Homo-oligomer: A and B are copies of this chain.
Amino acid sequence: MADDNMRDPLATLLGYQLRRLSVLVMADLAEALAPLDLRSAEATMLFLIAAQPGLTQSDLGRTLGIQRANMAPLIAGLDQRGLLDRAKLDGRSQSLRLTDAGAALCRQAWERVQDHEARLFADLSPGERSRWATQLRDLWETLGAREPAG
């Protein structure tokens, strides 16, 4: 540790800085979505179903990094709230689509997420924000390809 700042050894640790910021951002997002009775995972699920109507529950889980076992109660919850339709594809798979109520709530959630991002990242210019998104994504893809647990 001699080659580092002794006062704050965590200052140079990118992983620590990433996690600390992520925790703060996710807490703010949770607050932004709470009035809609949506958790962040549920909101992202609505966004993806809206973008790719008819996709499978397993596809959705793989895209979001959520395991099948944990998808079941999430999907069931949204279904019971009348936010999505489940149509059997072949007896074991079911395709997901938003109902009208689901689409309406999805739009509300999207607006709130956009507000949340605009507010939190107001100090970043549009160019910086876009560059960050690209870099974060590229890094994630590189590591995902390298790591088995991706």
B142–A27 CB distance below 8 A: no
CA distance A114 to B65 in the complex (A): 27
Query: Which one of A15, A19, A29, A144 has the greatest number of beta carbons of chain B within 10 Å?
Result: A15
Interface of A is mostly: helix
Known: A8-B51, A10-B44. A17 touches B147 (CB 8 A): no
B24–A147 CB distance below 8 A: yes
**Nearest chain B CB to A104's CB is how many angstroms away?**
12
**Which residue of B16, B18, B48 is within 8 Å of A18 (Cβ)?**
B18
Give this chain's copy count. 2
Chain B residue contacts of A129, Cβ below 8 A? 14
Answer yes or no: A12 CB below 8 A from chain B CBs. yes
CA distance A132 to B130 in the complex (A): 15
A120–B16 CB distance below 8 A: no
Chain B residue contacts of A130, Cβ below 8 A? 12
B113–A65 CB distance below 8 A: no
B150–A10 CB distance below 8 A: no
A15–B107 CB distance below 8 A: no
**Which residue of B7, B27, B47 is within 8 Å of A51 (Cβ)?**
B7
Q: What mask results when residues 9 to 49 of chain A are scored 1 for a CB within 8 Å of chain B, else 0? A: 11111111111111111111101000000000000100110
A15–B29 CB distance below 8 A: yes
